[in-house]
Structure 1
Amino acid sequence: MSTPAPAVRGQARSGHNRISTQALTSLAKAAAAHALGVDAQDVRADWTDDDGLLALSLVTPISIPPLKDVSLDAARVEVFGGSIWDRTVRAKARILETVTDLSGARLSRVDIRISGARISEGGRVQ
């Protein structure tokens, strides 16, 4: 991605800034890992062109509470932020916002495919 350099005290600077695909991919993986409560190394990120914008496709596991805990207390699901579906929908928006804010890249969409579950004793994923 290339963007013009910002103006400094009313003057435009020549040149451009580039963010490598590898840097964008690392950022996307970290944002997804944070949103879904997993390790970034477990997230796969791919980019495609979507009419001049970037479309991000993620394949990732998601953290879930131990099933024995849920069977004893169904409210335990809410401690994790709701159903896998609800958490994934919210994660898309958070990931898009995080990647856009930190990189300046213009994303058209974020697609997430949940590839598995990671049992976690923790609470709500941010």
Structure 2
Amino acid sequence: MGGQGAVSRIFAGHNRISAQALTSVAKVAAAEVLSVPSTQVRVSWSDDAGALALSVSSPMGAPSLSEVCRNSDRIAQSGGSILNRATAAKASILARVEWLTGSQLSRVDVRISGLLVREGGRVL
């Protein structure tokens, strides 16, 4: 029978997400935002005055210089300069991790460790 009341019933107890699960979600979120495989992404967590802070170290996907020379609009199409994309990545990663895990992060620090150059194809 269930009905509508069963769906909206609130259950007592706790929901917890393990550090390993948080780390996996953060790696995948960062990989998508930075256009790299998740195996290339390193994340770590720290306490930020009682809040949760995320540090990401990863390469970033980028068009090749020869492609940029052939098509000068390519930089704008890929999201701008490396610095602009890294800055925008912080907010995107924070929003995705918070939405997927329900955790609240105080900040996300991004360190770009290199570039994964791609000929053709789209860099997100």
TM-score (norm 1): 0.86
Is 1:122 aligned to residue 121 of structure 2? yes
The one-letter code of the counterpart of 2:41 is V
How far apart, in 2, do the equivalents of 1:13 and 1:70 lie? 55
Identity value in percent: 49
1:1-126 equivalences under 5 Å are 8-9=8-9, 12-120=10-118, 121-125=120-124
Once the two structures are TM-superposed, the CA of residue 124 in structure 1 deviates from its matched residue by 4.1
The one-letter code of the counterpart of 2:83 is W
Consecutive unaligned residues in structure 2, runs of 5 or more:
1-7
Over the aligned positions, Cα root-mean-square deviation in angstroms equals: 1.5
How far apart, in 2, do the equivalents of 1:24 and 1:122 lie? 30
TM-score (norm 2): 0.88
Once the two structures are TM-superposed, the CA of residue 13 in structure 1 deviates from its matched residue by 2.6
Larger Rg: 2
> Could you tell me which residue of structure 1 aligns to residue 4 of structure 2?
none
SS of the residue 1:16 aligns to: coil
Higher helix proportion, which one?
A: 2
Once the two structures are TM-superposed, the CA of residue 43 in structure 1 deviates from its matched residue by 0.2
How far apart, in 1, do the equivalents of 2:121 and 2:54 lie? 28
Consecutive unaligned residues in structure 1, runs of 5 or more:
1-7
Moved over 4 A (4+): none
In the comparison of the two structures, how many residue pairs are matched? 117
Once the two structures are TM-superposed, the CA of residue 71 in structure 1 deviates from its matched residue by 2.4
Contact 2:62–2:123, Cα closer than 8 Å, also in 1:
no
